[in-house]
Amino acid sequence: MQNTAKQNKATTASAKAASAAAPTTSTGPASTGAPAAAAAPVLGPRALNRATLARQLLLTRSPMSAKDALAHLLGLQAQNVKPPYYALAARLDGFAPEDLSRLMADREAVRIVTMRSTIHTHTAADCLTLRPLVQPARDRELTYFRKGLVGVDLDRLTALARDLVEAEPRTMKQLREALLVEWPDADPQSLSVAARCRLPLVQVTPRGLWDRSGQVALTTAEHWLGRAAQETPAHGTSALDTTVLRYLAAFGPASVKDMQTWAGLTRLRDAFERLRPQLLTFRDEHGTELFDLPDAPRPDPDTPAPPRFLPEFDNLLLSHADRTRVVPADLKGRTWTGNQAHCVLLVDGFLVGLWRLEDRTLTVEPFGRLTKDQRAAVVEEGGRMLAALHEGTAYDIRFGTVVRRQDRNQDRKQEQERG
């Protein structure tokens, strides 16, 4: 990242100077039409794109360790086992899958439900701070299952479920069956959801290990890691305020709604207002107020952005309310077929296509025409990814079809129905 830092130094300084002439604080909550937001410097889609790619370690590969990158990125979405490995391969210089697998085997990284009610791979420290932070979302999720929990004492269920999974890791089926013994009239799924929402349950290894993954078995984070959750950082700042600053470092510049989208939480405005005196403010081309750290990189919009192969559910595409900084408006919805997310290809920093790896073939499907140089760069990057993650295995790289026309037409129809 040293080259990027040099390229960005002048741009960051000019952004600070521009911001100094504009109000960065207000006496009340800011909105799109507030004077402070209206006077702030404007960041267009390419400026936001390059800033976000720099924070996401996608402009130039970082020499960070896997553990440091996992912390910097505030975790990686991990609904499937392999995406975190592909995510780090796209971001880190010299990454090998064993680097992350070893962290998980040594209990320095874990798989747990956090942001947006989805499985993420986090460092052990972040697991113990971020999971309590998103508890309001877990409580909200649990209300949807209250009809199946009539007569169930949730405190007693929580204590019993904790005893069960700390005695030995259990599958969700095993946990559900044990809870049904105590509450035979309750809805089975609601019982297991209650345990998952009330307890910080981690997926124990070998689940999540590279090429060795097993079935999902659960225990509590405290039991697996041998330490209690920490809701307040050691330096005394609230966990929420600290997380806002870390979110901006990894995903900024960003609006309040952007962070709420990333976290799956609501009512974060107050935290941004508390932090406003130490932040810069910008606005996007629609007038939305954006917050950022003063010293964070904001590269020139024309900074080169090499091709990158990203896995399905990469947080780069899921962590902003307005995703046009990476996904052009005319490509909205193209990375999904029904509920299935596809692996995505970035060229010049933006979504341009999909990819799939199967039967020792890497298939790349651009949505539009790529230049000869762009195609060559895509093939080169694909080869680098394969060498990092599948060393010693020969793969063909070809341009072809990832999503069948029938699936694409169905997906477009669903997108139109959603409005």
In this prediction, residue 229 carries a pLDDT of 76
Domain boundary among 268, 303, 338: 303
Tokens of 18: 């521009």
User: Among the three residues 237, 268, 303, which one is the final residue of a domain in this structure?
Assistant: 303
* Same domain membership, residue 135 and residue 41: yes
12 Cα distance to chain centroid: 25
- Give a yes or no: residue 27 inside a domain: no
Q: What is the pLDDT of residue 249?
A: 99
pLDDT for position 275:
98
Residues written for the chain: 419
* Whether the Cβ atoms of residue 353 and residue 365 lie closer than 8 Å to each other: yes
Residue 120 contacts residue 209 (beta carbons within 8 Å): no
| Cα separation of the two ends of the chain | 41
Tell me: do 254 and 345 sit in the same domain. Answer: no
pLDDT tens-place string over residues 174-191: 999 999 999 999 999 999
Same domain flag for 132 and 52 = yes
Given a cut of 90, is residue 165 above it in pLDDT? yes
The stretch 263-287 carries a mean pLDDT of 97
How confident is the prediction for the chain on average, in pLDDT? 89
pLDDT average, residue stretch 58-68: 98
Q: Same domain, yes or no, for 354 and 207?
A: no
Q: Is the pLDDT of residue 300 over 60?
A: yes
Q: What is the mean pLDDT of residues 288-295?
A: 98
Q: Residue 368 falls within a domain, yes or no?
A: yes
Structure tokens at 136: 């309001």
Specify which of 9-23, 192-206, 397-411 reaches the highest per-range mean pLDDT.
Answer: 192-206
154 with 294, same domain? yes
DSSP 3-state assignment of 163? helix
Q: Which of 10-19, 215-224, 348-357 has the lowest mean pLDDT?
A: 10-19
Are 260 and 386 in a shared domain?
no
**Tokens 């796209």 sit on residue:** 90
DSSP state letter for 114: -
Q: Is residue 232 very low, low, confident or very high in pLDDT (cuts 50, 70, 90)?
A: low
150 shares a domain with 282: yes
Domain boundary among 244, 269, 303: 303
Confirm whether 311 is domain-assigned: no
pLDDT band at 419 (very low <50, low <70, confident <90, very high): very low
Same domain, 252 and 331: no
What pLDDT was estimated at residue 256? 99
Strands (E), 247-316: 280-283, 289-292, 308-310
pLDDT digit string (tens) for 92-128? 999 999 999 999 999 999 999 999 999 999 999 999 9
Question: Which domain covers residue 7, as residue numbers?
Answer: 1-19+36-303
- pLDDT value at 403 more than 80: yes
Residues 361 and 258 in one domain: no
Does residue 4 fall inside a structural domain?
yes
pLDDT of 236 strictly over 50:
no
Number of domains in the chain: 2
| Burial 152-170, CB ≥16 within 10 A → b, else e | beeeebeebbbebbeeebb
Q: Are 110 and 142 in the same domain?
A: yes
- The reply to whether 388 falls in a domain is yes
Instruction: Tell me the CB-side half-sphere exposure of residue 174, using CA atoms within 13 A.
Output: 12
Closest CA to 163 of 175, 172, 153: 175
* 275, 375: one domain: no
Average pLDDT of 63-69?
99
In this structure, are 281 and 414 located in the same domain?
no
